[in-house]
Amino acid sequence: MSKISNLLIAATSSGSGKTTLTLGLLRALKNRQLEVQPFKCGPDYIDTKYHDLASHGHSINLDLFLSSPDHVKQLYAKHSASKDVCVTEGVMGLFDGYDRMQGSSAQIAELLDIPVVLVINAKSMAYSAAAMLYGFKNFYKNIDVVGVVFNFVGSESHYHFLKEACKDVGIEPLGYLPKQADIEIPSRHLGLSLDKEFCFDHFADKVASFIEKHIDINRLLEITKQERPVVSLADKKITNKNLKNAVAYDEAFNFFYYENIEYLKELGDVTFFSPLWDKELPKADFIYLPGGYPELHLSALSENKSMHESIRNYIENGGKLLAECGGMMYLCSSITDKDGNVYPMVDVLKQNATMQQMRLKLGYRSLSYNGQNIKGHEFHYSKIANAENSISIAKIYNAKGIEVDAKLFRYKNLIAGYTHIYWAQLDLLSLFE
């Protein structure tokens, strides 16, 4: 059986630099002409977009709240089948899950038997790193922490102390990243920035060069080499129904799980369209309006009246449409920006979305609807200004099973809400029954 390098880049806490290391490593491996497959622990749909840009591939979410262990194993084996290297970016700290370790990077590493490479923020730290490394190596024996990369290192002599800590703990030091402002990723209010002004290719190549200089990539690939995962039988057989599926995809709408789109391809054809620039919907049996950054394109979205009319006609005539977060906001009567300016929208949902007095709503969601337990994730700053006038068709709970005030709306065959649903294991069409 052939071998493949598998590694999970984890951290002691958020902000340690695992995303920067992951992106630079993905680009460095691509520049070496290696076939690399990126993965992301957890529900994040923005980090995966950066993975796509860095690797010129498709990053896959591995999430044990949204999906079953068998589904995660199937995804990992399927997408790694023809690759040379698999790089999985962790979420938060290594052991941080939605309930203790549940849903954590460590749980993914254990399930898939992936070697772990730690990233540690070493600013203002020397030999004390030994105690931290010892704890992360020995806290949970069912995972294998094989190496460490230190970030924000002040000098070569600083790194010498850190290497001594590694030696005494038995974890291999793989290099360090000095503090350098121009390899830090700019941020926006909703996760990482996807601004056009941010030249990602130039940034990725710069970080890749930086990592090639400071990290022993050859050794990293050597100590993480394993037997290639075996592709098992698919956990769900989907029957092709020859459906025509249309997915909104442009600067305003682009947050979706790759595997959801793969599911639609199993149902039939998938066409992409732009609510920003196209004048009408394509012919379709099912429309998907994902989340994104509609608040950054309010004028253009509001002015495209012919698309509004096309969507209204589709819905009024019984067309099936699922809208999530930003897609749901677009279907409201209006969206108010943070300065109080009101922009008319599609006006199918008789409610108003607003960016004023922004407060973060974040977390896993379980939706009890139509006899199904639907899993998803919520991450937004906007709100529905007159939500008290709208009735939810589902009971919605957080990861602890506590009911939350989120809602799922329905009008004819339109289903809409703030939750980003993971439907790769669902009977999607049964939602509309």
Between residues 2 and 409, which one has the greater pLDDT? Answer: 409
Among candidate residues 227, 256, 277, the one where a domain is terminated: 227
- Looking at residue 190, what is its pLDDT? 38
* Residue 232 domain-assigned (yes or no): no
Q: Is residue 170 part of a domain?
A: yes
User: Residue 181 above 90 pLDDT?
Assistant: no
> Does the pLDDT at position 282 exceed 60?
yes
Ramachandran region of residue 153, left (φ > 0), alpha (ψ -120 to 50) or beta?
beta
> Is 396 in contact with 374 (CB distance < 8 Å)?
no
pLDDT > 90: percent of the chain: 82
Neighbouring C-alpha atoms within 13 Å toward the C-beta of 123: 8
Q: What is the mean pLDDT of residues 265-292?
A: 97
Higher-pLDDT residue of 104 and 3 is 104
Q: First and final CA of the chain: distance in angstroms?
A: 46
DSSP 334-359: EEE-TTS-EEE---SEEEEEE-TT--
Each residue of 349-383: pLDDT tens digit?
999 999 998 888 999 999 999 888 999 999 999 99
pLDDT of the residue at 43 = 95
Q: 161 or 182, which is more confident? A: 161
- Of residues 13 and 389, more confidence is placed in 13
Q: Work out the average pLDDT over 384-411.
A: 89
Q: Which of 60, 376, 30 is nearest to 229 (CA)?
A: 60
Is 325 domain-assigned? yes
CA 241 from chain center: how many Å?
A: 28
Q: Which one from 86, 166, 325, 332 is the annotated catalytic residue? A: 325
Structure tokens at 186: 């700019």
In a domain, 233, yes or no: no
Q: What is the pLDDT of residue 179?
A: 83
Q: 342-344 and 291-292: which strand pairing?
A: unpaired
Pair (181, 253) in one structural domain: no
Predicted confidence (pLDDT) at residue 240 exceeds the cutoff of 90: no
Closest CA to 321 of 235, 392, 245, 225: 245
Residue type, 84: D
Kindly give the residue spans of alpha helices, DSSP state H, lying in 217-363: 217-223, 258-267, 298-303, 305-316, 326-330
Question: CB-based contacts of 432: which residues, under 8 Å, 6+ apart?
Answer: 320, 413, 415
- Asked if 402 and 302 sit in the same domain, the reply is yes
Q: Is the pLDDT of residue 180 over 90?
A: no
In a domain, 238, yes or no: no
Based on the fold, state whether residues 309 and 415 are members of the same structural domain: yes
Identify the domain boundary among 227, 252, 277: 227
Residue 86 bears catalytic tag: no
Provide the β-strand partners of residue 11.
119
- Please give the DSSP secondary-structure letter assigned to residue 113: T
Query: Domain with 389 in it: what CATH number?
Result: 3.40.50.880
Same domain membership, residue 247 and residue 223: no
Residues 358 and 329 in one domain: yes
Residue 394 has pLDDT above 90, yes or no: yes
Q: Which amino acid is at 430?
A: S
Per the CB < 8 A criterion, the answer to whether 232 and 76 are in contact is: no
State how many domains the chain has: 2
Does residue 218 surpass a pLDDT of 90? yes
Closest CA to 88 of 162, 34, 21: 21
Residue 47 makes CB contacts below 8 A (sequence gap 6+) with 19, 22, 40, 59, 89, 191, 192
Average pLDDT in the chain: 92
Domain assignment present for residue 16? The answer is yes
Please give the single-letter amino acid code of residue 332. C
Looking at the fold, whether 50 and 98 belong to one and the same domain comes out as yes
CATH of the domain at 128: 3.40.50.300
d(CA 66, CA 75): 13
pLDDT of residue 191: 45
17 in any annotated domain: yes
Q: Which pLDDT value is given to residue 237?
A: 58
Whether residue 416 has pLDDT greater than 80: yes
Domain end among 170, 200, 227: 227
| Torsion angles phi and psi, residue 266, rounded to 5 | -70, -25
Residue 401 to residue 385: CA distance in whole angstroms = 26
In contact, 64 and 86? CB cutoff 8 Å: no
Domain that holds residue 92: 3-227
Residues 262 and 132 in one domain: no
Residues 316 and 352 in one domain: yes
Is 237 contained in some domain?
A: no
Q: Is 85 strand, coil or helix?
A: strand
82 and 222 housed in the same domain: yes
- Indicate whether 283 and 188 sit together in one domain: no
- Quick one: pLDDT band at residue 187, thresholds 50, 70, 90? low
Rounded Cα–Cα distance for residues 226 and 86 (Å): 11
**pLDDT of the residue at 389:** 67
- Both 75 and 17 in a single domain? yes
Confidence band for 231, pLDDT divided at 50, 70 and 90 = low
Q: Would you list the DSSP string of 153-217?
A: E--HHHHHHHHHHHHHHT-EEEEEEE--GGGSPPB-SSSB---TTS-HHHHHHHHHHHHHHHB-H
Which is more confidently placed, 28 or 199? 28
pLDDT tops 50 at residue 316: yes
* Judgement on whether residues 55 and 180 belong to the same structural domain of the protein: yes
